[in-house]
Structure 1
Amino acid sequence: MKHNRNSVPERRWFLGVAIMAMVGAAVFITVMIITSDSSFICSTEHIYGEMPRAQARAQEDYNPTTIQIKAILHYATTRIVPQQSLAEIKISFDVLKSMGRPCNFLVFGLGHDSLMWASLNPGGTTLFLEEDPKWVQTVLKDAPSLRAHTVQYRTRLKNADQLLLSYRSEPACGPVRTRLRGNVECELALHNLPDQVYETEWDLVMIDAPKGYFPDAPGRMAAVFSAAVMARGRKGSGVTHVFLHDVDRRVEKTYAEEFLCRKYLVRGVGRLWHFEIPPSNDSDSSVRFC
């Protein structure tokens, strides 16, 4: 086979041009994102008012341009893509954009899409909860700007049906004034999360973890329950947007209908359901979530 002696220089030239074009595109797109829609990236006064001063100072050092460029470069140079489809991702993106301010965004699961979620919420707080400490270290090694905590789950997928039958007999699991922090009596309550999770009112909650596809996996029962409690306990105005992925699986669907409620389901695309859950009324004496 003949070799073109000019092929190597040509390839190097082509690679250089491609890299420069990609970097230029990244900068251009990022600037467009930042400057084209003031309703998406706006003053952070609202969020500062609800956050501790230390966290507000951390936000002042947060550079949305940097994380957006990193996200664009990352996804432009990798074959590993987010597990949600474009149509599913667009639901959350549209909500983030419609909020008109930086948001508090809690995500169950740390993975290949985490840099994307953080870049879609510039100026806001995006926090990831992950079950596997080693995986947290792996992800943060390549994306140290992400904020993540490890979570210990008490549940197992094989016990999902029994938990659903028995939780109503445990007063600590009831829908009225249920707490999460320190709630060891209710097995579905995530009782040992970092203080930041309990002290922040989350505008959006994405449930795409923990693992829920083999019997000894934690399953997403506690994540769904805890998201419902957070949403119902909201003190500020407006609803909490809860997104649940993998609703094609029986446990996710069943727990969503039990705790997130069909009446609050506003949209579903592919394997993703989007709920808008209002705060519970102080006079509410219901014995069930839905």
Structure 2
Amino acid sequence: MWAGSVRPWAVAVAASALLLVGGLSISSLLRSTSGSRCAFSGPPLSSAAAGATRDQLTETILHYATMSDKPQQSWAEINITLTVLKRRAPCNFLVFGLGLDSFMWAAFNAGGRTLFLEEDPDWYGKVIKEDKSRFLNAHAVKYPTEVRQSGELLRKYKSEPGCLPPVEIKGNRRCPLALPDLPAEVYEVEWDLIMVDAPKGYFATAPGRMGAIYSAAVMGRNRRGEGKTDVFLHDVDRPVERTYAAEFLCEKNKVDGAGRLWHFLIPPVGKESGVQRFC
């Protein structure tokens, strides 16, 4: 998820994490009296994901101050997600993708639950090796699709009952777009924010983001807690991302965008509604 060289930018990002987390105690107190939009669910936080700790913030700053890479996302793109996190953190944040910028996302959501999913085992090992203090909560996963199948999958999904709402993802082997074998934590937690910046989708045999986009839409629709689900989709300059966003995340739900990133707000849709379409 990274390339190039620009240390001052990285230091600024880490400093932003300090400013964001510095206000968590006050904002959390305010939400406790006025109602939080991010109700935690699922099993207790693991040690890798828990705590707005000084150690985590200190090591995040050190990480970016001593590295020579810059993020794939631009400042404007990152700022869209950061703006939402300023309002909603600490919350449940699911990220499709794992990169050297994962330390940044985890720090921005310090005190919340941030989970990263990565399909490349070699890259997963490299990033986890960088995580010397084990602050990242990440899993290596596999995807059942390839980019070259994207057109056929889109054409046929409406004729597959297992793909149409209301639908679940966990264990769903009737829908080729579903991701039925992700770690249990993915299904047990209700995610407030979902970022789709993986898996790879720039060559024919890459897994593609079809299943990730579809799953983000289903999770948002199935939300039981208060508020809507913020979904961020990167690389919308590519045909698959744009087409699947239009089909499942819906143009009417798009609220912001910058560069190659779009931001959607997915409203919950009760299973009793009987609606069998996404848009």
Q: CA deviation at 1:39?
A: 5.1
Which residue does the alignment assign to 1:86? 75
Q: Select the structure of larger CA radius of gyration.
A: 1
Change (3 A) 1:42 1:69: farther
TM-score by length of 1: 0.83
Change (3 A) 1:113 1:44: farther
- Match 2:264 to one of 275, 279, 284: 275
* Greater Cα offset, 127-136 or 34-43: 34-43
Which residue does the alignment assign to 2:55? 66
Task: Confirm or deny that 1:108 pairs with 2:96.
Answer: yes
* Greater Cα offset, 220-229 or 62-71: 62-71
Which residue does the alignment assign to 2:4? none
Which residue does the alignment assign to 2:194? 205
Which residue does the alignment assign to 1:186? 175
Which residue does the alignment assign to 2:126? 138
Q: CA deviation at 1:66?
A: 1.8
Task: Confirm or deny that 1:150 pairs with 2:137.
Answer: no
| C-alpha distance after superposition, 1:159-215 (max 9, x if no partner) | 100000001110000022x01111111110010011111010000000000000000
Q: CA deviation at 1:56?
A: 4.3
Matches within 5 A, 1:33-72: 33-36=20-23, 38=25, 50-52=41-43, 55-56=44-45, 58=47, 62-72=51-61
Distance 2:141 2:49 in 1: 27
Runs of 5+ in structure 2 lacking a partner? 1-11
| C-alpha distance after superposition, 1:50-72 (max 9, x if no partner) | 232xx247489635322222222
Distance 1:234 1:224 in 2: 16
Counterpart contact for 1:34–1:41, Cα < 8 Å = no
| C-alpha distance after superposition, 1:77-107 (max 9, x if no partner) | 22211110001001101101112x4110000
Distance 2:219 2:128 in 1: 27
- Match 1:162 to one of 152, 156, 178: 152
Change (3 A) 1:96 1:61: closer
Q: CA deviation at 1:75?
A: 1.5
> Which SS does the other structure have where 2:272 is aligned?
coil
Change (3 A) 1:42 1:157: farther
Distance 1:34 1:180 in 2: 33
Kindly tell me the number of residue pairs found equivalent between the two proteins: 262
Change (3 A) 1:49 1:255: closer
Partner amino acid for 2:106? A
Deviating beyond 2 angstroms after TM superposition, the runs of 4 or more aligned structure 1 residues are: 25-52, 56-64, 281-287
Matches within 5 A, 1:211-250: 211-250=200-239
Cα RMSD, aligned residues only: 2.6
Partner amino acid for 1:140? I
Which residue does the alignment assign to 1:289? 278
Partner amino acid for 2:63? H
Q: CA deviation at 1:133?
A: 1.9
Which residue does the alignment assign to 1:127? 115
TM-score by length of 2: 0.86
Change (3 A) 1:63 1:157: same
Partner amino acid for 2:54? T
> Which SS does the other structure have where 2:71 is aligned?
coil
Change (3 A) 1:61 1:181: closer
Structure number with higher relative contact order (C-alpha < 8 Å, ≥ 6 residues apart):
2
Runs of 5+ in structure 1 lacking a partner? 1-24
Distance 1:281 1:148 in 2: 30
> Which SS does the other structure have where 2:175 is aligned?
coil
